[in-house]
Structure 1
Amino acid sequence: MRLTTLTGEDLRRVCVRTDQSVRESMAVMSDAGLRLAPVLDAESGRFYGVAADGDLRRFLAANGSLEAPVSDAANRNPVVLEEVLNPTEVRSRMLWRGIEYLPLLRGDRLEALYVLWTVSAPERLTAVIMAGGLGSRLKPLTDACPKPLIKLGGKPILTHIIEHLRNEGVGRFVLSINYLGDMIVDHYGDGASLGVEIAYVHETSRMGTGGALGLIDPATLSEPFVCLNGDILNDLDLNALRERHLSSGWDATMVVRDHNYTVPYGVVRKTDDGSFVGSEEKPTMVFQINAGIYMLSKSVLPVVPKGRFYDLPTLFEDMRTRDLRSGTFTHQGRWIDVGTREEYERALDIFEAGY
Structure 2
Amino acid sequence: MTVATNMAGRGVDIILGGRIESHNSPQPLLNLRGGEGELSKDSSQEKSEWQKKHDLVVSLGGLAIIGTERHEARRIDDQLRGRAGRQGDPGSSRFFVSLEDDLMRIFAADRIKGMMEFLKMPEDEPIENKMISKAIESAQEKIEGFNFDTRKHVLEYDDVMNKQRETIYRKRREILESKDLKEKTLEAILGEVKKIAQFHAAGYKEEWNTKELKESLGAIMPLPADFDEAVGKIETSENLVGFLEKLAADIYEMKEKQIGFEQMREIEKVLFLRTTDMMWMDHLDEMEHLRDSVRLRAYGQKDPLVEYKNEGHKLFQDLLAAIQAQFTSMIYKVTLTPPENRQSRVANRPSTNSPQASSGNNSVGRNDPCPCGSGKKYKKCCGK
How high is the TM-score relative to the length of structure 2? 0.18
Higher helix fraction (1 or 2): 2
TM-score of the superposed pair, with normalisation by structure 1? 0.19
Considering only CA atoms, is the larger Rg found in Structure 1 or Structure 2? 2
